[in-house]
Amino acid sequence: MSLHAFPPSPPRRRRPKVASAIAACFLIIIMFGSIFLLYSSSFQGSRKNGSQSTLTRSGGTSTQQFTPSSPNDHSGSPSLSPPSLCSIDPPSLTFTNSPRDPVLKPVTIANCGSPADWSASPLTEDGIKWLVLSPSVGTLTSETPQKVNIVVITSKIKDAQPYRHGTVTFTLGPSQPGTVSISFLNSIQSCFQPSLCPRTQLPNFSFVAVEGHGNQQSQQIAIEKGSSASVSTDDGRRWLSINTSNASIGVDSTDLSAGVYQGTYTTTVGTGHVVLVVQAPTTTASPQPAPSETPTPIPSKTPTSSTTPTPAPSETPTPIPSKTPTSSATSTPALTP
């Protein structure tokens, strides 16, 4: 039997694994590149908006949560600058007793920081309260300046002193206080006294009262008795009056609330101005009565345990037992034989 020889079969070609590996690498690079681009674009957007971003991973997907914050505040809320009394305009005022010089002049204060309470207090060198403010307390914000009226009370100036000086101190929260210098010049003879007032000049008058304590006040005016005169007020209310019979001008603050009121009076000579300042009542805390010092009774010194003397036991004599013989020695009679 003959054997036929078959030609050897060609070797099978194996698929190269290099191409598969390269394709897999490209896919991985593309996937991570897409994730990186998404993250970088979101991060750049958050920086432009002035926010901070936090990257969290959930379920294999990257999600971003943005928390807005201030670039200068690390606590998450904008910081406010402290209150600052940055403007007092004008820094000084000068009053005179001239009829052409008003007895009321305003001062404007401004705050350049956060809102705060303000207060103002006048002080005069001679100790006489001829300076009055309205208003004198309040709350000041940076958006709205506050106008404060400074009034010279003519009824407090009764002598011919040529010069008076005072100051008004403004405080705003914890900031540095500011002051306004006030000067009063008696440049001419006092027109507040009728005997010294020229007939061609009418003085300006000012009054001060307390809200809720309505009272009538008057000052003397240089006017001929029986002459014609009239008064008018800016608010149309009848708080101003003039009496030609006793040559006086007066005010009545009975129904007026706290504030500044202005009016005029007119005679045959001319016209003068009147200012009435009604101040809010000051609320003073009523002193609390001191607690009565009730003396604490001293406890009686009662002994905690009564030391009642225990009677000594009576010494009852113990009876001495009688010496009874244990065996009686009875003589036995002799036996007779």
Per-residue pLDDT tens over the stretch 254-282: 989 999 999 999 888 788 889 999 988 87
Query: Helix, strand, or coil here: 188?
Result: coil
pLDDT of the residue at 288: 52
Evaluate whether residue 299 is within a structural domain: no
Examine the domain organization and report whether 131 and 208 are in the same domain.
no
Do 82 and 185 form a contact (C-beta atoms < 8 A)? no
More reliable by pLDDT, 297 or 178? 178
Quick one: 125 and 213 in the same domain? no
Cβ-contact 206, 275 below 8 angstroms:
yes
Residue 153: which domain range?
85-185
pLDDT (average), residues 82-106: 90
SS3 content of the chain, % helix, strand, coil (to 5): 10, 35, 55
Nearest to 154 by CA among 120, 123, 193: 193
DSSP strand pairing (146-152 vs 104-111): antiparallel
- Count how many domains the chain has: 2
pTM tops 0.75, yes or no: no
Give the count of beta carbons closer than 10 Å to the beta carbon of residue 90: 12
119 and 134 in contact (C-beta within 8 Å)? Answer: no
Of the residues 124, 156, 185, the one at which a domain ends: 185
Quick count: other Cβ atoms within 10 Å of Cβ 189?
A: 13
Kindly state whether residue 325 falls inside one of the protein's structural domains.
no
Q: Is the domain of 258 the same as that of 217?
A: yes
Indicate whether 111 and 167 sit together in one domain: yes
Question: 3-state class of 81 per DSSP?
Answer: coil
> 178 with 94, same domain?
yes
pLDDT at 59 over 90: no
Residue 116 sits in the same domain as residue 155: yes
Is 254 a member of any domain? yes
In a domain, 114, yes or no: yes
- Residues 181, 262: one domain? no
Cβ-based burial of 203 (10 A; exposed 0-12, middle 13-18, buried ≥19) = buried
Residue 219 domain-assigned?
A: yes
Residue 179, helix vs strand vs coil: strand
- Do 100 and 136 fall within a single domain? yes
d(CA 210, CA 217) in angstroms, rounded, equals 12
